[in-house]
Amino acid sequence: MKKILAVTGCPTGIAHTYMAEEALKAAAKKAGVEIKVETNGAGGIDNAITDSDLKDAIGVIIAADKDINAERFNGMAVIEVPVKDGIHKAGALVEQLLSGHASIRKGHVSTTSTDINVKESIGRQIYKHLMSGVSNMLPFVVAGGVLIAISFLWGIYSADPTSPQYNEFAALLMKIGGQAFGIMVPVFTAFIASSIAGRPGMVAGFVGGLVANITGAGFLGGIIAGFAAGYLMLYVKKWLDHLPRQFEGLKSIFIMPLIGVFIIGAGMFLLGEPIASINNGMKDWLQSLQQANPILLGIVIGCMCSFDFGGPVNKAAYVTGTMLLGEGNFFFMAGVSAACIVPPFVIAFSTTIFRGKAFSEDERAAGLVNYVLGSTHITEGAIPFAAKDPLRVLPIMMLSSAIAAVLTFLSHIQVPAPHGGFLVLPLVNKPFLWVGCIFVGALVGAILLGLSRMHQNRKLITNV
């Protein structure tokens, strides 16, 4: 039996990674071919591809939006696509590999019309590097943010030794959480640069992120420092390639870090103040909009969070909420979290309310899983349903999330934790009202989705 290999990986390593794995396995089984899928998830690499696997395989499908060390497949037939194509086009990818229409990595590129694989665009490269930074930053944000939030259980001033609310354990939680939360920009910057240029980029990027923190340049400064460090170190490495082999250690441990750290550090000190002004202006605008027009803000945030279910637009809203959370603004994150929690609940409620009238048995089973996903702030649970009918489902999801976000902002709800869904309800100032806001948005979407599916099913029966 023929054997093919696959690698899947998404920025957060939670949902898309494993959805692509299942889709590719199902497609390979249907095609009658053996497959081994390596997953690059949040917990690390599982089912890693070995040298013996490479010898036996006819080719590799890489469905990933992060760095998965693709160089090991040089000289093999390789198809490289975004992780979403691994979910939605699994059958076509397997067929393309088996038909011999895949290009040889770092070799001849197939020009046949059936070739799905295309050379990565600059935009996709930038997206992959940016998402590498986001995915590696998130564990620090979540762990640090939740520990800080838990410290508030003893009172908002429980970490202040001069306050009557002071609690020693709460102060410890605040210190630990503050350290984890405080390095999120350097980690974010370091992994953007590492995605571009490897370890030399990481060193310069981390220092650039630290300077961005010091100068107040924040995430915007971190993005600039990360990409600058990565591409600078690529150039420096190429420039130093002419050095004799015996200077390799000196080059990698001394010369490259020294050049990178100095140039990026100095550049960020020069650019830090102007970037900080832009950052502060953006934060002030968002905070003023929160007070002056919470409805408009809720609509914008809701639409962003449900536009791509964990993709770059969703992450932009989430990172903004995290940034403001670090500034002590707990209102904004409440709206962002509500908007992210709604989509899986739309699916769960709709498949429960309409059951056999609109959904298949498999869809109802998937709907039950979305109760758990929604409760734990995993937006990606809605992806399989949105992928089947995006033109109808996406507007419904965006409307539902917008309703929940608007109601949350109007109710002045505060959520001091950056993740966790309903697991952080004890930390929310109005927990039951917040759940109510989310459920109102989800129920509106569930009814619209159910009615839409019933209408589709009636049309199909009529056409038959």
Q: Is the pLDDT of residue 150 over 70?
A: yes
Q: What is the mean pLDDT of the chain?
A: 83
44 plus 136 within the same structural domain: no
More confident of the two residues 169 and 286: 169
141 plus 217 within the same structural domain: yes
Q: In a 3-state reduction of DSSP, which class is residue 432? A: helix
Would you say the C-alpha torsion 298, 422, 218, 17 has a positive or negative sign? negative
139 plus 224 within the same structural domain: yes
Smallest CA-to-CA distance from 114 within 124, 100, 128, 126 is with 100
List the single range of 21-30, 132-141, 431-440 with lowest mean pLDDT. Answer: 132-141
Smallest CA-to-CA distance from 434 within 348, 375, 370, 369 is with 375
Residue 328 in any domain: the answer is: yes
Stated pTM of the model: 0.65
Band of pLDDT at residue 309, cut at 50, 70 and 90: low
Structure tokens at 450: 């159910």
Residue 7 in any domain: the answer is: yes
More confident of the two residues 366 and 450: 450
Q: What's the average model confidence in pLDDT over 56-73?
A: 85
C-alpha span between 141 and 220 (Å, rounded): 17
Q: Is the pLDDT of residue 108 over 80?
A: no
140 plus 60 within the same structural domain: no
126 plus 78 within the same structural domain: no
Residue 111 in any domain: the answer is: no
330 plus 381 within the same structural domain: yes
131 plus 239 within the same structural domain: yes
Contacts of residues 18-26 at CB distance under 8 Å and 24 or more positions apart, as own/partner, are 19/87, 19/380, 19/383, 19/384, 20/63, 20/83, 20/86, 20/87, 20/90, 21/86, 23/86, 23/87, 23/88, 23/90, 24/61, 24/63, 24/86, 24/90, 24/93, 24/94, 26/90
Q: Are strands 77-81 and 103-104 parallel, antiparallel or unpaired?
A: antiparallel
The residue from 73, 104, 135 where one domain ends is: 104
185 plus 136 within the same structural domain: yes
Residues belonging to the active site? 10
- CB–CB of 240/276 below 8 Å? no
pLDDT given for residue 349 in this prediction? 93
CB-neighbour burial class of residue 164 (10 A; exposed 0-12, middle 13-18, buried 19+): exposed
Residue 336 in any domain: the answer is: yes
321 plus 422 within the same structural domain: yes
98 plus 127 within the same structural domain: no
C-alpha span between 200 and 203 (Å, rounded): 5
413 plus 303 within the same structural domain: yes
Residue 287 in any domain: the answer is: no
Residue 109 in any domain: the answer is: no
Q: What's the average model confidence in pLDDT over 265-281?
A: 86
CA 388 to each of CA 1, 352, 374, 393: distance values in angstroms, whole numbers, following the listed order: 32, 19, 20, 9
Q: What's the average model confidence in pLDDT over 299-311?
A: 79
342 plus 259 within the same structural domain: no
Residue 300 in any domain: the answer is: yes
Tell me the per-residue pLDDT of 208-245, one tens digit each, with 9 for 90 and over. 999 988 888 877 888 899 999 999 999 998 888 777 77
C-alpha span between 337 and 377 (Å, rounded): 7
Q: Is the pLDDT of residue 107 over 90?
A: no
More confident of the two residues 375 and 325: 375
The residue from 76, 104, 132 where one domain ends is: 104
Q: In a 3-state reduction of DSSP, which class is residue 417? A: coil
Residue 114 in any domain: the answer is: no
Tell me the per-residue pLDDT of 194-211, one tens digit each, with 9 for 90 and over. 988 888 899 999 999 999
Domain that holds residue 50: 3-104
Report the CATH number that the domain containing residue 46 is assigned in CATH.
Answer: 3.40.50.2300
pLDDT given for residue 113 in this prediction? 34
Please give the tally of structural domains in the chain.
3
